[in-house]
Structure 1
Amino acid sequence: MDRHTFDTRAGFQARLDDCLSRARLSLALFDPDFGWWELGSIRNDVLLREFFRHGGRLQLVAHSNARLERDAPRFLRLLRDYGHLIECRITDRSLHHLTDSFCIGDGHHLLRRFHSDHFRGEVIFNAPSSTKLHLERFQSIWTETQPGLQASFTGL
């Protein structure tokens, strides 16, 4: 197990890069709006395209997709190009009290911010036992969602 903490935006972005680049099969992401994730950045576009080229699947859950639609045109292009490997969902209103933020890669890597308004968090690599609880939590959140972003919804 490899564990690191962070408390800055740069630290979060660096650890997110690490988590995205280590994932091969699956990424499960939860955040209220993905505003700080920079999913539309050139760097993340490159990392995610590599992930998708090898058949990786992305599940993304948010309370709102408005910031992704407004601020992440590269992510919308990814959705158009790899829509068969990406599923974006919106939480039911009953889950809007959830304020943490996390990314699970292949069920072995976990990046989490304790509160989505702050950058303090941790990343744990190569630790399936440490990610198990968060993966189960993600799956229970997933069951309380409805379809979100899709290429056809954004006019792509």
Structure 2
Amino acid sequence: MEKQVFPFTTRTEFVGHLADCLGRARHTLQLFDPDFASWELGSSANDALLRRFLKDGGRLQLVAHDGRQMERDAPRFLRLLKDYGHLIDVRRTSQQLRQLTDSFCIGDQRDIVRRFHSDHFRGEAVFDCPADTQTSLERFITIWSESGPGLYANSTGL
């Protein structure tokens, strides 16, 4: 397939590209955001996409600074975590990483949706280009390794 690049500037565009990335993934999803407040992970549409992904054996990794927003506003995601906790890993960043403000989703190390700053919806989606995911993937691995346990299905406190 040929590389596809889609710049975006609105919440609607971000949510649409994120759904595309979630729907395309088959093996791995790696997500980072300060709090996932604008990701709509608890929406029925994203719940269906993630359930299909996990049912087929995909692995989901999320890292956030704070999980209170998801605990409060995403009960479907908490049920997903309970149902598929063996395939989902959620971590909380350490204090020294709390200044990070970007936001991204990497699917199967070939697709990425990234916002340049989590307070804004300006960003880009790139599909079918592993080279374009490499920098963010390396960043995710570093963030992951410097983060600790997070949200669990039966407890709070991401």
Map 1:17-96; keep pairs closer than 5 Å: 17-96=19-98
TM-score computed with the length of structure 2 as normaliser:
0.96
CA–CA distance in 2 between the matches of 1:78 and 1:72? 10
Code of the residue aligned with 1:10 in structure 2: it is: T
CA–CA distance in 1 between the matches of 2:11 and 2:154? 32
Cα offset, 1:152, TM superposition: 2.4
* Counterpart position of 1:148: 150
Query: What secondary structure sits across from 2:89 in the alignment?
Result: strand
CA–CA distance in 1 between the matches of 2:85 and 2:43? 18
CA–CA distance in 1 between the matches of 2:139 and 2:17? 21
* Counterpart position of 2:129: 127
CA–CA distance in 1 between the matches of 2:74 and 2:44? 10
Query: What secondary structure sits across from 2:86 in the alignment?
Result: helix
Identical counterparts, % of pairs? 60
Query: What secondary structure sits across from 2:61 in the alignment?
Result: strand
* Counterpart position of 1:108: 110
1:10 aligns with 2:20: no
User: How many residue pairs end up in the alignment?
Assistant: 154
* Counterpart position of 2:100: 98
CA–CA distance in 1 between the matches of 2:119 and 2:154? 31
TM-score computed with the length of structure 1 as normaliser:
0.97
Consecutive aligned runs of 4 or more in structure 1 exceeding 2 Å deviation: none
Query: What secondary structure sits across from 1:82 in the alignment?
Result: helix
Cα offset, 1:133, TM superposition: 1.1
Across the aligned residues of Structure 1 and Structure 2, the Cα RMSD in angstroms comes to 0.6
Code of the residue aligned with 1:61 in structure 2: it is: V
Query: What secondary structure sits across from 1:33 in the alignment?
Result: coil
In structure 1, runs of 5+ residues without a counterpart are: none
CA–CA distance in 2 between the matches of 1:153 and 1:17? 27
Cα offset, 1:52, TM superposition: 0.5
Code of the residue aligned with 2:56 in structure 1: it is: H
Q: 1:115-146, CA deviations, whole angstroms, 9 ceiling, x for partnerless residues?
A: 00000100000100111111011000001101
In structure 2, runs of 5+ residues without a counterpart are: none
Code of the residue aligned with 1:31 in structure 2: it is: D
